[in-house]
């Protein structure tokens, strides 16, 4: 049977009956529709990149060793990046046509693309019985209140108690966004350049990026030390290697005082929430 080519000058006319828009989707259904819309846009982006790459012979050359493999990896990663950071608008249009609502991409990132630590966040072992009551200053607490929404977002994403995040911010920078230490640690959670790079933080003075990077690193330390909060905090301050070397909080005055201060702040939030 010969193939039949159809020339469609106006695609809208080919639909005899318009798609009926459903307005009573549940929250779970909307979440699935949102993810499907974003995944479709990512797939479409990948197809576009593949077509462009084939036209130019590929980024790694037509005869490069393993070029086809690296090309595929590159296309996957760049299509994900475009979809997450700078949407083409396709996903939003699909979602709106189905639900009649605008697509909130930021919300989708947090709810539908959970980080691995959110799925297996360890149970944190608190030991606050003998903690001295060192309270944060009122001015620091006032500054901290500006970041409540960001803290809540990444507390949920990475499975780290927001009391811990708040306490680290207060101990590290007194909630001063532009703080820089003598060791060149920067921002609210005092990220050094190597840690910021590892956590994919591009602008350490952007509160959202800084808190995301610091919280992600905290979640990794909690995971590494089986939920032992004191060890995780010590690792955040002195590095995980020092904690492993001494099998606990290293005998450094700065680190020991750091852990005590944060535990005191956590106790403060427990008693005042």
Cα–Cα distance measured from residue 161 to residue 155, given in angstroms and rounded to the nearest whole number? 6
Q: How far is CA 15 from CA 3, 5, 18, 92, in A?
A: 22, 18, 6, 21
Q: What is the 3-state secondary structure (H, E, C) of 243-260?
A: HHHHCCCCCCHHHHHHHH
Cα–Cα distance measured from residue 200 to residue 52, given in angstroms and rounded to the nearest whole number? 27
- Cα four-point dihedral sign 218, 219, 224, 229: positive
**263 near 244, Cβ under 8 Å?**
no
Residues annotated as catalytic are: 172
């Amino acid at each position: 049977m010969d193939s039949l080519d159809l020339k469609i000058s106006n695609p809208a006319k080919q639909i005899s009956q318009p798609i009926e828009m459903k307005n009573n989707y549940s929250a779970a259904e909307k979440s699935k529709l949102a993810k499907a819309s974003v995944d479709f846009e990512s797939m479409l982006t990948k197809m576009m990149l593949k077509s462009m790459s084939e036209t130019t012979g590929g980024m790694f050359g037509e005869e490069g060793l393993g070029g086809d493999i690296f090309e595929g990896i590159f296309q996957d990663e760049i299509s994900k990046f475009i979809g997450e950071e700078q949407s083409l608008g396709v996903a939003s249009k699909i979602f709106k046509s189905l639900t009649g609502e605008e697509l909130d991409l930021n919300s989708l990132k947090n709810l539908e693309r959970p980080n691995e630590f959110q799925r297996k966040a360890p149970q944190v072992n608190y030991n606050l019985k003998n903690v001295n009551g060192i309270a944060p200053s009122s001015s620091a607490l006032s500054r901290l209140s500006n970041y409540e929404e960001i803290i809540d977002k990444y507390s949920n994403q990475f499975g780290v108690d927001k009391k811990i995040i708040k306490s680290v911010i207060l101990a590290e920078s007194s909630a001063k966004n532009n703080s820089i230490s003598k060791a060149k640690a920067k921002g609210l959670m005092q990220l050094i350049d190597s840690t910021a790079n590892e956590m994919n933080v591009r602008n350490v003075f952007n509160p959202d990026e800084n808190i995301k990077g610091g919280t992600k690193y905290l979640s990794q330390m909690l995971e590494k030390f089986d939920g032992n909060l004191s060890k995780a905090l010590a690792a955040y301050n002195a590095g995980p290697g020092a904690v492993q070397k001494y099998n606990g909080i290293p005998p450094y005055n700065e680190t020991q005082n750091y852990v005590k201060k944060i535990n005191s702040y956590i106790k403060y939030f427990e008693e005042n929430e």
